Amino acid sequence: MLNLPENSLILIVDDTITNLEIISDALTTAGFIVTTARNGEKALQQIQDTLPDLILLDVMMPGIDGFETCQKLKTNPLTQDIPVIFMTGISDIETKVKGLNLGAVDYITKPFQKEEVLARIKTHLQLRYLTKTLEQRVSERTAELSQALKDLQAYQIQIIQKEKMSALGQLVTGIAHEINNPVSCIHGNLDHTANYFNNLIKIIDLYQQNYPEPVPAIQAEIAETDLEYMRSDLPNLITSMKEGVQRIRNISTSLRNFSRPDKDRKVFCNIHNGIDSTIMILKHRLKASKVRPEIEVIRNYGNLPSITCFSGQLNQVFMNILTNAIDALEESNIGRGYSEIEKHPNQIWITTSLSEDKYNAVIQIKDNGVGMSADIQQKIFEHLFTTKLFGRGTGLGLSIAHQIIVEKHKGKLDVYSVPGKGSEFTITIPIH
């Protein structure tokens, strides 16, 4: 059998002094610590100061009897697990069943047999000790399994993130490379086109100076093609094409910056470049549509130095948070007309600054969308938690973002939100 805990405390509750003395002497001799009470009220008062390991409780007592005392013990969360053994001279089945239904573990019948009393007390103390030990082991095992589950989920997120970024990086790099070749060709040829056009215009001017009266066929063609308008408009067309090509080159650069592969060590990077690249990629979701005006992105950039980070992963955090902000804004537009949205426009504010101690970069991304309840805010970074409809959210975006900021960069990712007012995510990252 299990060894009993040393110095087990037994509370004896009996209104008969003789019974108290007999049982107390027997238990003390057996090595137990004994405390006594003459009635149920005093017993309940004593228990408030010190919890016994077992209670011997007389049934028939003045004031509240043993049954009522037991009932009060079992309804109190602090005392409900303490074994109660009734002591009684009544041996009918009905009385015993009533006591057991109230939560007692056993009965001892008066007059007492010393050996029987000790045997029953030891048995129930051993059972209680075994139960407590088992509960502790179950609790410890549950904690271990819970931690193992969290570790597994974190590992799954790492694998998903790594494969996603690797595939995205390869895809985007390939696309950027394919875009760059023809765009560079167009960009270079536009300069040559402008030079050729200027040379042709010079030749036309010379012809007009030396042959001011061209033949009717040439005059008709000049009128047909509207030479003067073409001379004034073609430079504008070339300039517009240059701007379009430059925009494509900027998008290509943003794609390469966003999907920059992270190596085993951190590198210096410009936070603002990463944010701007992400906004450029999300431009198609920000621009105006038939149902709403353009989502305004207001950038308040502070004077941040380049920081040491995994730039590709950090860009993924910006992407996840900004995508969620756009989703929240679109959800807030449900039931609102174009003109109403125009009066109260969808906005995203991005603010960057140094922390007061100058050791951390702080990035705040705020929207005026639907916001979140306190309950959702507590779960927002949990693995697989999502409030979006099936097929629209995986529940991994913010979980991955939290892991990247907290575990990869030893920073903090906090959220503050008010339903109907919007949400604000604050990223804090050590500069070095």
Nearest to 314 by CA among 348, 363, 380: 363
- Whether residue 86 contacts residue 65, with contact meaning beta carbons closer than 8 Å, is answered with no
> What's the residue count for the chain?
432
What's the pLDDT score for residue 262?
55
The one-letter amino acid at 262: D
The one-letter amino acid at 225: T
pLDDT for 237-276, tens place per residue? 888 888 888 777 777 766 666 655 555 678 888 999 889 9
Distance separating alpha carbons of residues 259 and 262, to the nearest angstrom: 9
What's the pLDDT score for residue 310?
85
For 267-306, strand residue ranges (E) read 267-269, 296-300
The 3 state secondary structure assigned to 58-125 is: ECCCCCCCHHHHHHHHHHCCCCCCCCEEEEECCCCHHHHHHHHHCCCCEEEECCCCHHHHHHHHHHHH
CA 247 to chain centre: 36
DSSP string, 348-387: EEEEEEE-TTSSEEEEEEEE-SS---HHHHHHTTSTT---
For 329, counting Cβ atoms within 10 Å of its Cβ (0-12 exposed, 13-18 middle, 19+ buried), the class is buried
Distance separating alpha carbons of residues 370 and 219, to the nearest angstrom: 66
For 93, counting Cβ atoms within 10 Å of its Cβ (0-12 exposed, 13-18 middle, 19+ buried), the class is exposed
pLDDT for 112-145, tens place per residue? 778 888 888 888 888 888 888 887 888 888 888 8
125, 138, 144 from 131: Cα distances, Å: 10, 10, 20
- Whether residue 164 contacts residue 403, with contact meaning beta carbons closer than 8 Å, is answered with no
Beta strand 347-354 with 412-418 is unpaired
> Can you state the percent helix, strand and coil of the chain, rounding each to 5?
55, 15, 30
Structure-token pair, residue 314:
């950090």
The domains found in the chain, sorted by start residue, are 9-112 (3.40.50.2300), 146-260 (no CATH), 262-432 (3.30.565.10)
Distance separating alpha carbons of residues 121 and 386, to the nearest angstrom: 54
- Whether residue 352 contacts residue 301, with contact meaning beta carbons closer than 8 Å, is answered with yes
Backbone φ and ψ of 270, nearest 5°: -95, 115
SS3 240: helix
Q: In what order do the strands lie in the sheet with 412-418?
A: 296-300, 347-354, 360-367, 422-430, 412-418
What's the pLDDT score for residue 165?
57
- pLDDT (tens digit, 0 to 9) for every residue of the chain, 432 residues total? 445 555 788 998 888 888 888 888 888 888 888 888 888 888 888 888 888 989 998 888 888 888 888 988 888 888 888 899 888 877 677 777 888 888 888 888 777 778 888 888 888 888 888 888 887 888 888 888 888 877 776 676 666 666 655 555 666 666 766 777 788 888 888 888 888 888 888 888 888 888 888 888 888 888 888 888 888 888 888 888 888 887 777 777 666 666 555 556 788 889 998 899 888 888 888 999 999 999 999 999 999 999 988 888 888 899 889 999 999 999 999 989 999 999 999 999 999 999 999 999 999 999 999 999 988 888 888 766 566 554 455 456 788 888 889 988 999 999 999 999 999 999 999 998
The one-letter amino acid at 289: S
What's the pLDDT score for residue 394?
47
The 3 state secondary structure assigned to 22-46 is: HHHHHHHHCCCEEEEECCHHHHHHH
Q: Whose structure tokens read 């979980």? A: 399
